[in-house]
Each structure stands twice: as structure tokens, then as C-alpha cells.
Chain A
């Protein structure tokens, strides 16, 4: 599979628990993005990496959220002390690096989080 891969596809958790999502980008892409989408809305930008460097974080990304991309390949998004308002689809996307980048994003299937 050469597309963007996300795991797990669906996570149900109780309020207050920690959850972690993983994203594997397209192999030759060195930019990786996290977006969040709530029901009936378009996705909203959370953060992005170029290789292992996290270059930008949205104000939507509270202190309970942390994203990493330690080796410049896969990325993890951790949410600590989950709240019901965190229930959403978490989408990962990747793109080519700046020298070859048209800005076209390729998304994964998403990880749906339900906080009870």
C-alpha cells in the first residue's frame, strides 16, 4: 500500500484517558500534517512537520495534545486526559518537500475518536 496509513481507525475511550494515534505517510513525502474534523464540518489544521521538525502548531492544539515525528517517517498524535469535546476524526496527510511541492496533500482514512 503506497498511500497514507493511519491506526487505529476507530478508538472509543472514557473521559480522562490518554489516546495515541499513528500515521505513516507516503514514503517519499517529507511533510506530514494532522487535521481534525468534527461532524458536518470541514477539516481544521492542527500541526505539520517537515522531516522531524514540527514547524507549526495551531491554537486548536491545546497543551493536552502532543505530536511527534522522531525519525522523520511515521508520526504520533497523543491526546492526554481526553474530554468529550475531543471526539472527532483525526486526519493525517502528507506531501512532497518544499523544493518539489505544489502544495497537494494526500490524506489517510482517518482515526475516529469517541470519548464517552
Chain B
């Protein structure tokens, strides 16, 4: 059974710092991996999607990497800003599910960026 873990559960950093959020998964047979952002009481915003054949994806100050063999993904945020404060969720699409969109989520890392 695929399990997704995100550590730490919460993180507080000063503005301007570069930071890394971690995601690990137990089964390397994945179709894709997606990072989301969630503001309090809101829905999920897609940040980056990495297909199983890719090693990384970049969007602006965000860079996500994928290492299937070790069951890890990282989300790198450069030059953090207070507006980056949110919960970041990692979700894995199992290979057996194909592109059905049946994702397995971690519990998230809640990030606070202090001015």
C-alpha cells in the first residue's frame, strides 16, 4: 500500500531564506507526483507536476525534484516571501492507477514565512 509522508509537519523561516520541503513515498511504482499549495480554509492550487520519467520541474521560484528509486521528492522555494505562507501538499499518482487522477496525499507541511 502506497504511503506518502511529509516532514516536517510545520516550518517557520525568516523572509528571504531558501528552503526545502520533503516528501517521501513507500512504493516507487508511480505515474506522477504533484505538489499543491493550500491556504487556510481554501482549496488546492496546483504548483508543479512531475511525470515518472522526469527528474525535476521548475516554475518561477519553485523547483521540484523526483527520485523514484529512493522514494523522495523535494520542493525547493527560493527567496521565500510572507505570501508563501501556506500548507504544501505532496500527492502521488500510483502507477497501477495510471492517469486516473486517483492521488495519494501526504499530510502536508505548514510553512510560515516571517517578515
Residue numbers of A with Cβ under 8 A of B are 4, 6, 31, 33, 40-45, 48, 55-56, 91, 93, 95, 98, 101-110, 112
Cα distance A57–B103 in the bound complex, in angstroms:
13
Tell me if B101 and A55 are in contact (CB < 8 A).
Answer: no
Given the complex, which residues of A lie within 8 Å of B4, measured CB to CB? 42
Tell me whether chain B's interface is mostly helix, strand or loop, or mixed: strand
B4 nearest CB neighbor, chain A only: A42
Query: Nearest Cβ in chain A — how far from B106, in angstroms?
Result: 5
CB 8 Å contact bits of B1-28 with A (1 = contact, 0 = none): 0001000000000000000000000000
Tell me if A101 and B42 are in contact (CB < 8 A).
Answer: no
CB 8 Å contact bits of B91-115 with A (1 = contact, 0 = none): 1010000111111111110000000
A-B contact pairs, 23 of them (CB 8 A): A6-B43, A31-B101, A33-B102, A40-B107, A42-B89, A42-B91, A42-B105, A43-B44, A43-B91, A45-B104, A48-B100, A55-B100, A91-B44, A98-B99, A102-B49, A102-B51, A103-B32, A103-B34, A104-B49, A105-B46, A105-B101, A106-B46, A108-B43
